[in-house]
Amino acid sequence: MNKIIRIGTRDSELAMWQARHVQQKLEALGYQTSLVPVKSTGDIVLDKPLYELGITGIFTKTLDVALLKEEIDIAVHSMKDVPTALPSGIVKAAVLKRANSNDILVVKNGTEFLDSKKGHIATGSLRRKAQWLSRYPKHQVSDLRGNVNSRMRKLEENPWDGAIFASAGLERINLKPENAISLDWMVPAPAQGAMMIAALEKDQALLKVLHKLNDYETDICTTIERDFLRTLEGGCTAPIGALATVDVDYLHFKGVLHSLNGKQKAEIEKKVLIENIEGLGAICAREILMNGGDAIMKKIKKALAN
Ligand SMILES: NCc1[nH]cc(CCC(=O)O)c1CC(=O)O
């Protein structure tokens, strides 16, 4: 394969870092590449509606369209932002070795608020909010959106005690401050800390090349986490955490579903021999649904529909 591989990326600093990372890996293998920053636009024009093509992810949709229009050859994503169902014609070509999967709390003026009733933190994630309120029920949680850089800026400007970030994102762009606490008790988003390369299913020669970047262990772990997510949520976003790790012959899985206010939860933890992981994500999701998860999901769907 001797064509120049066009790498599509969103134009945030984190997305650019991740695309360059993939670029370096491909060039190290002797392939020619070019970076194509793709601006998020509202006016995507295609011959079919987005939903008909199965394009749903708010972070990934611009790159999905660029792939389908063949303006780029591959798209680099934070895997946790990729919807569990890929658009038709687009496939997972590789999953890179996972970095830190933890969430971290960046604090502004010390950590005393953690032991007080008057804590106030910020996050835009349903999962982080629910898990935080489950642990600190008296605290206040404000909404915080935008890319990593603008969230860090908003933390400075607002009267919050702290804000939650994915450790991997801050580490990649060298933005991790001294005053950051690793939230080891928080169960991360499925596939947090992993990057995924998407490409066109029909581009077989390219898929073969990209497979060289695949990290087998990260691939199986994130597959289980995302199977768990897909089976549990049924197309609706909910506060769901999942983490699979490999320890020699065993795979360790931890999954949790919270109600939106964090008051209810259904969780599961399993250690299975690697040779027995077939279907594990869906099995764990079904167990959660039977152990109180079904009622939690129904309540969430009702609340989010309003
Ligand atoms: N939702 C945004 C997003 N998508 C991926 C990352 C960080 C990198 C990763 O988790 O792989 C972030 C930022 C964050 O959650 O703080």
DSSP structure string for 121-180: EE-S-HHHHHHHHHH-TT-EEE---S-HHHHHHHHHHSS-SEEEEEHHHHHHTT---SSE
pTM of the model: 0.95
List pocket residues of ligand 1, CB cut-off 6 Å: 78, 80-81, 148, 165-166, 168-169, 192-193
* Counted domains in the chain: 3
Q: What CATH code is carried by the domain that includes residue 278?
A: 3.30.160.40
SS3 of residue 229 by DSSP: helix
DSSP secondary structure, 1-52, as one string: --S-EEEEE-SSHHHHHHHHHHHHHHHHTT--EEEEE----S----SS-GGG
Instruction: Give the nearest ligand 1 atom to 192 CA.
Output: 10
In a domain, 46, yes or no: yes
Domain extent at residue 250 = 230-305
User: Does 40 share its domain with 88?
Assistant: yes
Count other C-beta atoms under 10 Å from residue 225's C-beta. Answer: 31
Residues 141 and 284 in one domain: no
* Mutation to probe ligand 1, out of 125, 144, 148 (largest number of atoms < 8 A from CB): 148
Please name which of 176, 169, 164 lies closest in space to residue 139, comparing C-alpha atoms.
Answer: 164
Note whether 120 and 76 are same-domain residues.
Answer: no
Residue 53, pLDDT above cutoff 80: no
Q: Are 223 and 280 in contact (CB under 8 A)?
A: no
In-domain check, residue 40? yes
The verdict on 92 and 209 lying in the same domain is yes
167 domain-assigned: yes
pLDDT bracket for residue 42 (50, 70, 90): very low
3-class SS at 265? strand
Per-residue pLDDT at 180? 93
Query: In this structure, what DSSP letter does residue 116 have?
Result: S
Render pLDDT for 91-139 as a digit per residue (tens, 0 to 9).
999 999 999 999 999 999 999 999 988 999 999 999 999 999 999 999 9
pLDDT range class, residue 46, cuts 50, 70, 90: low
Examine residue 300 and state whether it is found in any structural domain, yes or no.
Answer: yes
